[in-house]
Chains A and B, each alone.
Chain A
Amino acid sequence: MVEQFAKLDIRKDENIVYKRTDLLVDRPLSYCPGCGHGTVHRIIMETLEEMSIQDKTIGVSPVGCSVLAYDFMNIDMLGAAHGRAPALATAIKRMWPDRFVFTYQGDGDLAAIGTAETIHACNRGEHFTMIFINNGIYGMTGGQMAPTTLPNMRSSTSPYGRDVETMGFPLKMTELIAQLPGTYYVTRQAVHTPAGVRKTKKAIRKAFENQKNKTGISFVEVVSNCNSGWKMTPVQSNKWMEENMFPFYPLGDIKVDGKLVETKATAAKE
């Protein structure tokens, strides 16, 4: 390739300040262009690498677009039946309490079909980490309405917008499980800006660090885009997310070290 702008060649290994972690398998991710799933996969893998716990970590992948997470994350992984990741993670963590265990789930997986597993794992105070990718839709199956779909938001099964009279209200699963004594750290983040990615990574780090002290569930929601399901370009979808998702799903910590925090998230008006 012709390099128009490389007057000074600094492309030497000793000058590398960022490169894709080897804990991501060297193959193309199956996600749509601009989808937040890829970003979250990467920062989880970077966190494990920085903590040097990749050989002691077991992940549980869901059903949804990230069903193939085990093909991309180069660590021990198991695939759970739809919504059952917290049940499987419970078994793994109880058999191997010294391992770091996490689930990676979408909103359809975690907050629809898997509601019971989510709530009971949180209420039992299991000692693993849950990563929750909330894009307000069933991305994989063609953009159907999820429990997390916003009021008036269009989806393939609510083409005129979600009418809360007939379709019910969106479920704030993260606020809900924060009320349970079995959860220790509950936060909501987003990966649509570099600063957001850095903050989300810090939250993921904290969620894994907590496992060393067996404190109960550490739960990280990532409000994410589904540009295919939302029928937008990736850049538009991130803007739409800021304008529409964040007012309803405010970013920030909801519970830290076992104590509820008074934040935008908990004080938010309906």
Chain B
Amino acid sequence: MAKIKGDIVVNVERCKGCEICIAACPFSVIAMAKDVNSKGYHYAIKVNDECTGCVNCAVICPDGVITVYRAKVAAE
């Protein structure tokens, strides 16, 4: 059976660490990195593999730094 899988890529240098995407994610995929980017902001990272590609995080990100992928894959 095929299942839907999603993935996100954060443009780390453009992320301002506002954390608004965290609450918008229904699957708690996002958290802030301990590291900071060159501007000194903690940036958004994936902390699990539950992403469905719902695009909520990308739609809410004020800086538009999230790219979202979605594909049908064979279930493991």
The smallest beta-carbon distance between B30 and chain A, in angstroms, is 12
Among residues 52 to 76 in chain B, which have CB atoms less than 8 Å away from a CB atom of chain A?
Answer: 53, 55-56, 58-71, 73
Pick the residue among B9, B14, B19, B73 that contacts A34 (CB under 8 A): B19
The smallest beta-carbon distance between A176 and chain B, in angstroms, is 29
Q: How far is the CA of A230 from the CA of B18 in the complex (A)?
A: 15
Q: Which residues of A contact B59 (CB under 8 A)?
A: 18, 194, 197-198
Please count how many residues in chain B sit with their CB below 8 Å of the partner chain's CB atoms. Answer: 37
Is A235 in the interface zone, CB < 8 Å from B?
yes
The secondary-structure label for the interface of chain B is mixed
Is B36 in the interface zone, CB < 8 Å from A?
no
| Interface set of A (CB-CB < 8 Å, partner B) | 1, 4-8, 10-12, 15-21, 24, 28-29, 31-39, 42, 191, 193-194, 197-198, 233-235, 238
**B18 and A19 form a contact (CB under 8 A):** no
Q: A10-B5, A10-B71, A34-B18 are in contact. Are A18 and B55 (CB under 8 A)?
A: yes
Q: A233-B19, A235-B23 are in contact. Are A28 and B14 (CB under 8 A)?
A: yes
Pick the residue among B22, B49, B69 that contacts A11 (CB under 8 A): B69
**A42 and B18 form a contact (CB under 8 A):** no
15 contacts between A and B (CB under 8 A): A5-B49, A6-B7, A10-B69, A10-B71, A15-B69, A15-B71, A16-B67, A16-B69, A18-B55, A29-B63, A34-B18, A34-B20, A38-B64, A194-B60, A235-B19
Q: Which residues of A contact B14 (CB under 8 A)?
A: 28
**B73 and A10 form a contact (CB under 8 A):** yes
Nearest A residue to B12, CB-CB: A1
**B69 and A39 form a contact (CB under 8 A):** no
**B69 and A33 form a contact (CB under 8 A):** no
Q: A28-B14, A234-B19, A234-B20 are in contact. Are A197 and B60 (CB under 8 A)?
A: yes
Pick the residue among A8, A39, A194 that contacts B62 (CB under 8 A): A39
Among residues 12 to 37 in chain B, which have CB atoms less than 8 Å away from a CB atom of chain A?
Answer: 12, 14, 16-20, 22-24
Q: A7-B49, A18-B59, A197-B59 are in contact. Are A12 and B69 (CB under 8 A)?
A: yes
Q: How far is the CA of A12 from the CA of B67 in the complex (A)?
A: 11
Pick the residue among B48, B55, B62 that contacts A37 (CB under 8 A): B62
Q: Which residues of A contact B5 (CB under 8 A)?
A: 8, 10
Q: Which residues of A contact B58 (CB under 8 A)?
A: 18-19
**A34 and B16 form a contact (CB under 8 A):** yes
**A235 and B7 form a contact (CB under 8 A):** no
Q: Which residues of A contact B71 (CB under 8 A)?
A: 10, 12, 15
